[in-house]
Structure 1
Amino acid sequence: MQSRHLSVVIRRPPFEVYDFAAEPDNLVRWAAGLASADVHREGAALVAASPMGPVRIVFVERNAYGVLDHDVTTPDGVTTHNPLRVLAHPDGAEVVFTLRQLAMTDDELDRDAGLVRADLERLRDLLEA
């Protein structure tokens, strides 16, 4: 099993990047691989339409460390832990997502890495506009 660390540098202060990315209402604006329609809350979970069907998303509590880890439960009941961090960077902030291969084939991992990279680039483009 491989892990890939995908990142993008955003020319904004880390706290601004974190605040934007942590806001559930912003997910549909930048995380197309996760949320393709409005997100609503069900207790501590967020529920969103996604390319794979309805998903439940549970983020860690807001924190001062830039941690945006979240668990995603897909329609088939499988839950995946997704490490996501906003780090200070000399040019602003660096957002790092760790993608784990788990049961994916190498081709599926490559495809998912492309989707994650596109989401991170969309986040950068929104915040730098």
Structure 2
Amino acid sequence: MQSVHVSRVIAADPRRVYEFAVDARHLPLWAAGLAQGDLVIDGDRVHLDSPMGRVEVRFVARNTLGVIDHDVTLPSGATVTNPMRVLAHPQGAEIVFTVRQIDLTDADFARDVAAVRADLDRLAALIEADRGVGG
């Protein structure tokens, strides 16, 4: 199994990037690889429609370290842990998402990596376009 760390520099304060990205209500705006359509927040669980079907997402507790790790429970019942971080960067913030090749062909893995890259590009565009966007 291989892993790829997909990162994107965002011209914004790291705390602002973190607060926007960790807010489940914002997922449909930028995380097309995960969130589409209906989203229900139930305590620390988020139930949402995704390209894979109905999934449940659980984020780690909010923190000051920029950690946005989250578990996604798939329709099959399998749970995938997704490491994600917001780091300080000389140009603002850098968001890093680790994509792991779990039971995927090389072609499917390449598509997942490309989808995450596109999601992070959308996230950056949203934040950089609206300096008032935040938590």
- Provide TM-score, normalisation by structure 2: 0.93
Contact preservation (8 Å) 1:7, 1:96: yes
Please list, as runs of the form range in 1=range in 2, the aligned pairs for 1:109-124 lying within 5 A after superposition. Answer: 109-124=109-124
Unaligned runs of 5+ in 1: none
Please list, as runs of the form range in 1=range in 2, the aligned pairs for 1:80-95 lying within 5 A after superposition. Answer: 80-95=80-95
Question: SS at the partner of 2:77?
Answer: coil
CA distance in 1, matches of 2:20, 2:87: 14
CA displacement at 1:102 relative to structure 2 = 1.6
* Alignment-derived partner of residue 74 in structure 2: 74
* Alignment-derived partner of residue 104 in structure 2: 104
Could you list the per-position Cα deviations for residues 40-82 of structure 1 after superposition, in whole angstroms to 9, with x for gaps in the alignment? 1233210010011100000000000000000001111110000
* Alignment-derived partner of residue 61 in structure 2: 61
Q: CA RMSD in A?
A: 0.7
CA displacement at 1:34 relative to structure 2 = 0.5
* Alignment-derived partner of residue 32 in structure 1: 32
Unaligned runs of 5+ in 2: 130-135
Give aligned pairs, total.
Answer: 129
* Alignment-derived partner of residue 2 in structure 1: 2
Question: SS at the partner of 2:71?
Answer: strand
Q: Which runs of 4+ in 1 moved over 3 A?
A: none
CA distance in 2, matches of 1:38, 1:68: 21
CA distance in 2, matches of 1:105, 1:2: 11
- Provide TM-score, normalisation by structure 1: 0.98
CA displacement at 1:39 relative to structure 2 = 1.7
Question: SS at the partner of 2:123?
Answer: helix
